[in-house]
Amino acid sequence: MQYAYPLLAIFIWAGNTVVNKLAVGAIFPAEIGFYRWLLAGLLFTPFMLKPVIEHWPVIRPNLWRIAILGILGMAVYQSLAYFAASLTSATNMGIILSLMPLMSLAMAIAALGQRLTAGALVGAVLSFAGVLMVVSSGSLAALLQHGVNLGDAMMLVATLAYAVYSTLLKKWQLRLPPLVLLYLQVLVAVVVLLPLFLASPKVGPTLQNIPLVLYACLLASMLAPLAWMQAVVRLGPSRTTLFFNLLPLITALIAAVVLHEQLAWFHLVGGVLTLAGVVLSERWTTVLRPFAGKPAPTGQG
């Protein structure tokens, strides 16, 4: 039963990657991004006002940190994913997103003083090779000639933003209940995305796009984070993070069924390399130490 929580979150997030793709043509990216967080904020508010007031002494000095987290994790990451969906496949998005744990590990080594392991080093090389395989469609020559697809590039930046978000979350260790912190970040996303929403073209709510907004809000923005928090409590952060490795596989399977996306050989090879790199980085924990040569002998004069 304890594994149901992380699996539920991963299935919802994988499905949301496909929803991003389904939203193309049905609703503008700025619209679904704003509606998603606005609706989540409205639904959370009746239950979260009292906890926010109770924790205000902790919240007030950390408002700038909360704002940065909300911008990176909610506004930038999610908005870029919606824009990327019009330019690349859901399968590509899922494989690129699977780099996030490895990016977070690299930043933890650089910013938090976490020790560099052999697995992290070899895993980074493997995962990078896997993503190169995917974004080049199996042809590095074509990649060098034409560059990275704009949608893939957006997804890489979105993944990087979320990795920075995860690193700052660990670094700052804000003493707030997870649900309160999530709610405050949702409010930040609403404020930050409002100007983009007002300046962008709009379709408005329709029978075609309302289910997509509801999925993004109720499932991806509310239920999945709650399930993930429960998984962290029950399994611990390290064991829970391992489930994130299932994201590209589940995304590809859902995309094949719902969107009829075809899995090419470079998706399979790239996905396996990326997944192997992430797993290796988490499992091979031998610490690398700087090479220290023997001291030169000193002569007696």
First to last CA, the chain: 75
Residue 298: is its pLDDT beyond 50?
Answer: no
Question: By the 8 A CB rule, do 37 and 244 touch?
Answer: no
Residue 298 lies in a domain: no
Give the Cα-Cα-Cα angle 294, 295, 298 (nearest 5 degrees): 140
> How many separate domains does the chain show?
1
Put simply, whether the predicted model's pTM sits higher than 0.85 gets the answer no
Mean pLDDT of 135-139: 73
* More reliable by pLDDT, 177 or 266: 177
**Inside any domain, residue 297:** no
**Mean residue pLDDT across the chain:** 83
Cα 181 from Cα 169, distance rounded (Å): 10
Tell me the residue length of the chain.
301
Residue 259 falls within a domain, yes or no? yes
Average pLDDT over residues 237-242: 68
How far is it, in rounded angstroms, from Cα 150 to Cα 88? 8
* Residue 289 within any structural domain of the chain: no
Q: How far apart are CA 52 and CA 60, in angstroms?
A: 10
Residue 274 resides in a domain: yes
> Contact 47/162 with Cβ under 8 angstroms?
no
Q: Is residue 100 part of a domain?
A: yes
- Structural domain boundaries, residue 61: 4-283
**Buried b / exposed e across 235-261, counting CB within 10 Å, b at 16+?**
beeeebbebbbbbbbbbbebbeeeeeb
Domain contains 265? yes
User: What secondary structure does DSSP assign to 78-103, as a single string?
Assistant: HHHHHHHTTTS-HHHHHHHHTTHHHH
Report the pLDDT averaged over residues 9-19.
92
CA trace torsion 146, 150, 151, 152 (10° rounding):
60
- Token code pair at residue 136: 């080049």
DSSP helix/strand/coil, 117 = strand
pLDDT digits (tens, 9 = 90+) for 37-93: 999 999 999 999 999 999 999 999 999 999 999 999 889 988 899 999 888 888 888
H helices present in the chain, as ranges: 4-22, 29-54, 56-59, 63-70, 77-84, 90-97, 100-111, 118-135, 140-146, 150-172, 178-199, 210-214, 224-235, 237-242, 247-258, 265-283
Backbone dihedral angles phi then psi of residue 183, each to the nearest 5 degrees: -60, -45
CA pseudo-torsion sign 122, 128, 132, 138: positive
Average pLDDT of span 167-190 = 91
> Cα–Cα distance between 284 and 123 in angstroms, integer?
9
Q: What angle do CA 40, 42, 48 make, to 5 degrees?
A: 90
